A and B are shown apart, each in its own frame.
Chain A
Amino acid sequence: MAEHAIVVENLVKRYGDFEAVRGISFRVKRGEIFAFLGPNGAGKTTTVHVLTTLLKPTSGKAVVAGHDVVDEPMEVRKRIGIVFQDPSLDRELTAYENMYIHGRIYGLKGSELKEKIEHLLKFVELWEFKDKPVKTFSGGMQRRLEIARSLLHEPEVLFLDEPTIGLDPQTRAHIWDYIRAMKEEHNMTIFLTTHYMDEAEQLADRIAIIDHGKIIAEGTAEELKKLVGNDVVYLKLDAPEELKCLRAEFIRGCKILADGRVALEVENAAEALPRLFELVAEKGIKILEVTYHRPTLNDVFLHLTGREIRDEGAENPMAAFVRMRMRR
């Protein structure tokens, strides 16, 4: 088995004049959770559709689970599972029937299929609702059913396109638990797209930040945050101006702000704080206020693009509206 579950080289997808994906390259290792983080319209879903053989790329190469998506789409389809951004269930049928039909199409049958359906519906806690039509399900229940369905044929690589979009915080946390359990129990490779920073940070081993069809940064959450700089501790000290800039080997920079507070750059604020307390105690200085700031992925995005990732609604109110309509 190859080391990489997904290899993408210089992938381009164009619709007429519009270039949705503009030459991206990345690799996803087996057994890792890889997140595509970016605003709506960044090209995340288009990439997923190319990798899952539903769209033909304009140029470039993509190999998923050892097979080229253009040359051997059937081989790829056998080895992947996908939860689409928009629901893709048969609403008239029951949860069980949806699972059963999926299993049959993927070549499962008999007692093996029955056992797997039962196991997975119990895994996502829908077994007691198995005979209810899907149209009576809440958004979160539908999502869980789709996750169960995508696991039925034991895919090598699982694609989750915005798995928690439109769900309430509790349900989101619940879905995250399932995703972690899938990785741990099945050592599955998971490719996930999201525009929620917390989701990428909570789940992903590595994150690629994508904007306007290009990958603008890639790495672990910690690595990405380093791009922005250090943690900053803000102190309000009861001390004369010249004593405010504390000196120690763990303090990398110091600035006195207009309001009189002092901003200290440190590598890790959590570890620096106790040492700072000791330091000021030694000097007999009193601390009046302490706050600190650690760079977030949002800061990283802001740093790289000059925009906030959450801003896409404000930047283009129509986009959010159109998405709502499409998801209906």
Chain B
Amino acid sequence: MEALTTMAYRQLKRFARAKSRVAGMIINPLLWLVFFGMGWSKVFDNSMARTVFGGVDYLTFLAPGIFAMTVFNQSFVAGVSVIWDKQFGFLKEVLVAPASRKESILGRIIGDSLVTLTQGAIILALTFPLAENLKPSGFIPALGVGFLLAMAFSGFGVSLALRMESMEGFQMIMMVLMLPLTFLSGAIYPIDTMPDWMKALAYVNPLTYAVDGARHFLVGASVAKFSLGVDLGVLTVLAAVLVGLAMAEFERATIG
């Protein structure tokens, strides 16, 4: 357990050190929420549009999506930051330690997820004054959904970083993955009105289930597409598989 808690502690310490960077990370989702969300909310301020968005105003519909998007983005970036440990050598210090490597990397992923969740919580808190119909009681459970999502993508990021030699390829992967996954998650428009081929992609997009799960808690079951059990089930399995892979990969890691 020592390795797990210590590595989680390290991630939180690093986060606390980098306050200015935190502000930078929050700006992007805030731009989405304010300019994109508030811009369209007036367009969709009519009963027909409300029907499409499950009977709520657009910002209420969008808020869980922005929350999930933030968590997804940041956790992936956090996981991939293992590559800096590789380059600055801290990874060797962990690999040569007489502690369980599986525990060490799990600790790191948990630490990263908590950091990511803090950022998600800040964004979510900022959306409450803007969106009319968000349920304050859904705040904490939505963070639970966010935690599963964060674990899954931190794990994915770690696996990816262990195979990469530099940060250069990573920008490409970000570009290729981030926007399509966001568009295909039902975060900014409903899945039901998508063309069938897009729907199919949305169903296999893990982010879809995080957006839907968060919507369950923050808005209500009537706005959600899947049952809560499906959302949480998919996210739990995904997190277990991706974190498991990262742990297995880290166990085998060598240097040079």
Residues on A lying within 8 angstroms of B by beta carbon are: 46, 49, 52-56, 74, 77-78, 80, 82, 84, 86-93, 97, 101-102, 104-107, 109, 133
Contact = CB atoms under 8 A, between A and B. Distances in A.
A53 B88 CA distance: 20
Given A46-B256, A104-B2, A92 B98 contact: no
Contacts of B9: 101, 104
Contacts of A55: 254-256
Given A49-B256, A56-B254, A91-B88, A133 B17 contact: yes
Contact of A97 (B13, B18, B92): B13
20 contacts: A46-B256, A54-B96, A55-B254, A56-B254, A74-B98, A77-B97, A78-B98, A87-B89, A88-B88, A88-B89, A90-B14, A93-B10, A93-B13, A101-B9, A102-B93, A104-B2, A104-B6, A104-B9, A105-B6, A106-B99
Contacts, number: 75
Contacts of B3: 105
B2 A101 contact: no
Given A54-B92, A89-B90, A92-B17, A101 B10 contact: yes
**What's the dominant secondary structure at chain A's contact region?**
loop
B6 A89 contact: no
Given A88-B89, A90-B90, A54 B17 contact: no
Nearest to B14: A92
Contacts of B7: 105
Contacts of A88: 88-93
A42 to B, nearest CB: 15
A84 B89 contact: yes
B6 A101 contact: yes
Interface of B: 2-3, 5-7, 9-10, 13-14, 17-18, 88-99, 104, 254-256
Given A88-B91, A101-B9, 11 more contacts: A49-B256, A54-B95, A54-B254, A54-B256, A82-B96, A87-B88, A92-B18, A93-B14, A93-B17, A105-B6, A105-B97
Contacts of A104: 2, 5-6, 9
